[in-house]
């Protein structure tokens, strides 16, 4: 049991720099058998383990991670949280996630640095404003905050945009979700790991899954680089590598792995006080606490597992940034990196049972994995504990394409990113 | 990433359009087996390793061709 973090412990360690902070989570040897084994120690896997213990009293749980905690996509995203979704099946789920974010630091006794600075999505023409008005109305009917801003409002909030006549994309207005914002992503992984470990969950790092033990269509354990681990139930949460791992269990999925690049500039003084998004190329930008501008846009466009992006995409994203905010044209990029994400036909995820009994799937997160982390873990834990989907993730099933129940948030049909 | 176009030779991938998995077999025209169509349209092997795929040289000769590429390294091999 790790010690409770508080202002008092912080002060004590500040006054006694030699006093070591104790490890935040235990590092046990894997047991022979668990009630539930979660494959993947990222944000979603750790959150699932935490909510299994916290909400459902299932504490004989192991999280198996190939690398170290926080080494995957939970540390490779751009840290945005929001719930500005429009269609049934998405709205309630992502709003539940945002509500869990709002209380997460207290819940986990770990400062996740949740910053609800607001997200502003810019419109470049009146038609886009009509679309935003419809989205905002639907959000408000679902109890989600949304505000429509005209050009004057936007000028007050974002005075640094290009409002000139020569602007490549004139700013017509925007839709804002004030409760959206950013979270420190590493802290989410560490916070969930520590809280889950405190509740008795075994977090096993540097342990790669090599196979599933399946008899007569029912899973009873996994093979790992550290031997066989028996399990009553197994949950997969390895988004990015979902197809790769699910294949070991004989599953073929509606998923392709694609690379999404992200960028950080050299640090500058605080100027961007919101998350600013833009329709063109799915561009979005925020400023980190260290001062760097963090931004990203569309995927590269062909399936790959290499975490290396292509140069033409870097140029396109930089062009987006500069056409929107000309003042950053002389800033240098400090870092850029790529994360591998599951892309699904309709752009929506899977949190569901599979054709193999007692084997569950969490994946297909497309662009939206990080913001979904708390609700994903919360609903996945329910799905595993009850062998049935929760009302919030009932639409995230694998058979929705066969049944004609796609969750097409963009409203553009299947495989939008291939069009 | 450099892609070897069978007509124009080695060119940057930004000149090309990606056309997806070329190993899939389209169901026979008129097939009423919805499961076969579902799998053809929606389900992918998505391997981490060798992959055969379609590309079109849209900013060049506009030819469609098959290419072998390793999705774990992006190394392109011979034309398939």
Q: What pLDDT does A238 receive? A: 97
Rounded-to-integer distance, Cα A192 and Cα A44, Å: 9
Rounded-to-integer distance, Cα A212 and Cα A230, Å: 10
**Pair A196, A263 in one domain:** no
ipTM, 2 dp: 0.94
**Pair A173, A204 in one domain:** no
Interface residue of A242, A306, A344 to substitute, partner B, most B CBs within 10 Å: A306
The reply to whether residue A310 touches residue B39, judged by beta carbons under 8 angstroms, is no
**Pair A350, A335 in one domain:** no
- B28 at interface of A, judged by CB pairs closer than 8 A: no
Q: How would you classify residue B70: left for phi > 0, otherwise alpha for psi between -120 and 50, otherwise beta?
A: beta
The reply to whether residue B44 touches residue A310, judged by beta carbons under 8 angstroms, is no
Question: Shortest CB distance from A401 goes to which of B1, B42, B46?
Answer: B42
Nearest alpha-carbon partner for A93 in A334, A373, A290, A411: A373
Q: Tell me the nearest-neighbour CA distance from A228 into chain B, angstroms.
A: 24
CATH of the domain at A249: 3.50.50.60
The reply to whether residue A310 touches residue B53, judged by beta carbons under 8 angstroms, is no
Task: List pLDDT tens digits, range A7-37.
Answer: 999 999 999 988 888 899 999 999 999 999 9
Q: Per residue, what are the HEC states of chain A?
A: CCCCCCHHHHHHHHHCCCCCCCCCCCCCCCCCEEEEEEECCCHHHHHHHHHHHHHHCCCCEEEECCCCCCCCHHHCCCCEECCCCCCCCCHHHHHHHHHHHHCHHHHHCCCCCCECCCEEEEECCHHHHHHHHHHHHHHHHCCCCCEEEEHHHHHHHCCCCCCCCCCCCCCCEEEEECCCEECCHHHHHHHHHHHHHHCCCEEECCCCEEEEEEECCEEEEEEECCEEEEEEEEEEECCCCHHHHHHHCCCCECCEEEEEEEEEECCCCCCCCCEEEECHHHCEEEECCCCCEEEEEEEEEEECCCCCCCHHHHHHHHHHHHHHCHHHCCCCEEEEEEEEEEECCCCCCEEEECCCECEEEEECCCCCCCCCHHHHHHHHHHHHHHCCCCHHHCCCCHHHCCCCCCCCCCCCCCCHHHC
* 8 A C-beta contact, residue A189 and residue A43: yes
Q: Tell me the nearest-neighbour CA distance from B40 into chain A, angstroms.
A: 10
Q: Is the dihedral of CA A381, A387, A392, A394 positive or negative?
A: positive
Rounded-to-integer distance, Cα B12 and Cα B15, Å: 6
* 8 A C-beta contact, residue A179 and residue A99: no
pTM to 2 decimal places: 0.95
Q: What pLDDT does B80 receive? A: 57
**Pair A64, A194 in one domain:** yes
Q: What pLDDT does A368 receive? A: 93
Q: What pLDDT does A249 receive? A: 97
**Residue B51: pLDDT above 70?**
yes
- B10 at interface of A, judged by CB pairs closer than 8 A: no
**Residue B61: pLDDT above 90?**
yes
Token pair belonging to A67: 């690398």
CATH of the domain at B16: 3.30.2270.10
Q: Based on the structure, what is the number of domains in chain B?
A: 1
Where does a domain end: A278, A309, A341?
A341
CB pairs under 8 A between A and B: 63
The reply to whether residue B47 touches residue A243, judged by beta carbons under 8 angstroms, is yes
Regions of chain A with pLDDT less than 70: 1, 413, 419
Q: What pLDDT does A324 receive? A: 92
Chain A residue numbers touching B18 (CB-CB < 8 A): 301-302, 418
In this structure, is residue A52 part of a structural domain? yes
CB atoms within 10 A of CB A416: 16
The reply to whether residue A255 touches residue B44, judged by beta carbons under 8 angstroms, is yes
Where does a domain end: A309, A326, A341?
A341
Where does a domain end: A341, A362, A377?
A341
- B25 at interface of A, judged by CB pairs closer than 8 A: no
The reply to whether residue A257 touches residue B34, judged by beta carbons under 8 angstroms, is no
Q: Which domain holds residue A41?
A: 28-109+184-255+346-418
Q: What pLDDT does A20 receive? A: 87
Rounded-to-integer distance, Cα A95 and Cα A87, Å: 12
**Pair A302, A377 in one domain:** no
E strand spans, chain B = 2-5, 9-12, 17-21, 50-56, 64-70, 76-79
The reply to whether residue A418 touches residue B46, judged by beta carbons under 8 angstroms, is no
Question: Shortest CB distance from B46 goes to which of A257, A310, A401?
Answer: A257
Q: What does the angle CA A206 – CA A208 – CA A211 come to, to the nearest 5 degrees?
A: 165
* 8 A C-beta contact, residue A225 and residue A310: no
Beta strands A256-265 and A227-237: pairing type?
A: unpaired
**Pair A57, A71 in one domain:** yes
Rounded-to-integer distance, Cα A205 and Cα A286, Å: 32
The reply to whether residue B46 touches residue A303, judged by beta carbons under 8 angstroms, is yes
The reply to whether residue B46 touches residue A312, judged by beta carbons under 8 angstroms, is no
Q: Which domain holds residue B46?
A: 2-79
CATH of the domain at A171: 3.30.9.10
Question: Shortest CB distance from A306 goes to which of B35, B38, B72?
Answer: B72
In this structure, is residue A413 part of a structural domain? yes
**Pair A175, A261 in one domain:** yes
**Pair A139, A201 in one domain:** no
The reply to whether residue B48 touches residue A305, judged by beta carbons under 8 angstroms, is yes
Chain B residue numbers touching A243 (CB-CB < 8 A): 44-48
In this structure, is residue A18 part of a structural domain? no
Q: Is B13 helix (H, G, I), strand (E, B) or coil?
A: helix
**Pair A226, A251 in one domain:** yes
């Amino acid at each position: 049991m790790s010690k409770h973090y508080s202002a008092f412990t912080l002060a004590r360690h500040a006054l006694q720099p030699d006093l070591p902070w104790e490890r935040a989570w235990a590092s046990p040897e894997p047991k022979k058998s668990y009630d539930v084994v979660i494959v993947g120690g990222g944000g979603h896997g750790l959150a699932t383990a935490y909510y299994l213990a916290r909400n459902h009293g299932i504490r004989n749980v192991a999280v198996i991670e190939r690398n170290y905690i926080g080494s995957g996509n939970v540390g490779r995203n751009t840290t945005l949280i929001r719930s500005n979704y429009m269609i049934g099946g998405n709205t309630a789920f992502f709003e539940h996630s945002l509500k869990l974010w709002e209380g997460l630091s207290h819940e986990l006794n770990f400062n996740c640095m949740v910053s609800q600075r607001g997200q502003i999505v810019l419109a470049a023409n009146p038609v886009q404003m009509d679309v935003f008005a419809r989205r905002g109305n639907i959000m408000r009917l679902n109890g989600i905050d949304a505000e429509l801003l005209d050009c004057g409002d936007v000028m007050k909030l974002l005075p640094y945009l290009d409002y000139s006549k020569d602007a490549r994309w004139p700013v017509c207005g925007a839709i804002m979700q004030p409760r959206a914002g950013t979270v420190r992503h590493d802290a989410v992984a560490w916070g969930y790991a520590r809280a889950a470990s405190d509740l008795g969950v075994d977090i096993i790092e540097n342990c790669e899954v090599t196979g599933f033990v399946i008899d007569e269509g029912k899973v009873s354990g996994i093979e790992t680089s550290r031997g066989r681990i028996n399990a009553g139930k197994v949950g997969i949460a390895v988004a990015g590598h979902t197809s790769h791992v699910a294949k070991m269990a004989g599953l073929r999925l509606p998923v392709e792995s694609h690379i999404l690049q992200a960028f950080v500039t050299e640090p500058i003084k605080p100027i961007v006080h919101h998350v600013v998004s833009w329709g063109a190329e799915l561009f979005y930008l925020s400023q980190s606490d260290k001062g760097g501008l963090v931004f990203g846009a569309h995927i590269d466009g062909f399936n790959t597992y290499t975490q290396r992006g292509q140069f033409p995409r870097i140029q396109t994203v930089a062009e987006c940034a500069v056409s929107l905010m000309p003042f950053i044209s002389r800033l240098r990029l400090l870092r850029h990196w790529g994360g591998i994400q599951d892309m699904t036909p309709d752009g929506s995820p899977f949190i569901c049972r599979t054709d193999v009994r007692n084997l569950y799937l969490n994946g297909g997160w497309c662009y939206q994995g990080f913001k979904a982390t708390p609700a994903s873990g919360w609903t996945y834990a329910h799905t595993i504990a009850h062998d049935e989907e929760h009302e919030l993730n009932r639409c995230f099933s694998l058979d929705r394409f066969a049944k004609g129940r796609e969750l097409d948030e963009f409203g553009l049909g299947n495989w939008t990113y291939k069009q | 990433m450099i892609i070897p176009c069978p007509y124009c030779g080695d060119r940057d991938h930004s000149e090309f359009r990606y056309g997806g998995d070329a190993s899939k077999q389209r169901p026979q025209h008129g097939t009423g087996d919805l499961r076969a169509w579902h799998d053809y349209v929606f389900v992918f092997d998505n391997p981490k390793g060798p992959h055969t795929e379609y590309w079109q040289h849209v900013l060049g000769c506009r030819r469609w061709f098959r290419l072998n590429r390793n999705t774990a390294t992006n190394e392109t091999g011979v034309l398939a």
